[in-house]
Structure 1
Amino acid sequence: MNLDTEDSIMQNISPKVQNQFAMLQQVQQQLQTVLSQKAQYEMAVREAKRAAEEVKDAADDTPMYLSIGTVMVQKKKDYIDGKLTEKVETLELRIKSLEKQETLLQGKFEQLQSQIKAALEGKGAPNAA
């Protein structure tokens, strides 16, 4: 379909449906952003858990370092273990928050989609507004 055909189709659609379609696209973009952030946090959780396992398996006197910005600082095993546990907990809270956003956006997306579909199907019916 070329742009001229798309423009003529959009001209035949009511401004309300055009607005709903724009909102649908916006919700879809927000949903993609949330899903991308969620995937990044899930990967960070996996990495932190893997690091925590390595720390737990290491002997108590094993030298360990924590990255603070561009500097590596030697810290005790218990301190690093605590920091990793804290990081996992924080990331998992963020994931739960993103999952709530995802559910809300998915519901809004489906609602807009069905409204647009109903409006477009009603367009062909006689006396449709």
Structure 2
Amino acid sequence: MKISTKGRYGLTIMIELAKKHGEGPTSLKSIAQTHDLSEHYLEQLIAPLRNAGLVKSIRGAYGGYVLGNEPAAITSGDIIRVLEGPISPVEVLEDEEPAKRHLWVRIRDAVKDVLDSTTLEDLANYTDDEQESYMFYI
């Protein structure tokens, strides 16, 4: 399974909204400028996120987008499923060899577990310092 730019940039939008949660609406233009992304492309991605209730749009001169729920209640899996579809490395066929089918199911479940246990709050509060706890020095 490969996450496309739709999923990656969609996560970028949502993480930025999570970082600014409670501060009012954020424009796609500001997110696009901050991350050097196409504002037009972000506009295409925000529509399915809005339709799924993950974001709300605020109209007006100081409008933009806000999260549809608390950052702790939205998982990266929610976002990826909206933008990429079902999470599966391969289409598991019933007539597939049982050992291979078991492997594909385990891979799918592991990816789903990571995505569904990682919230926007986790991603918005992530710092490079946390990476150090996983480093092993010899």
TM-score, L = length of structure 1: 0.31
TM-score, L = length of structure 2: 0.29
The structure with the largest helix share of the pair is 1
Decide which structure has the larger Cα Rg and report it. 1
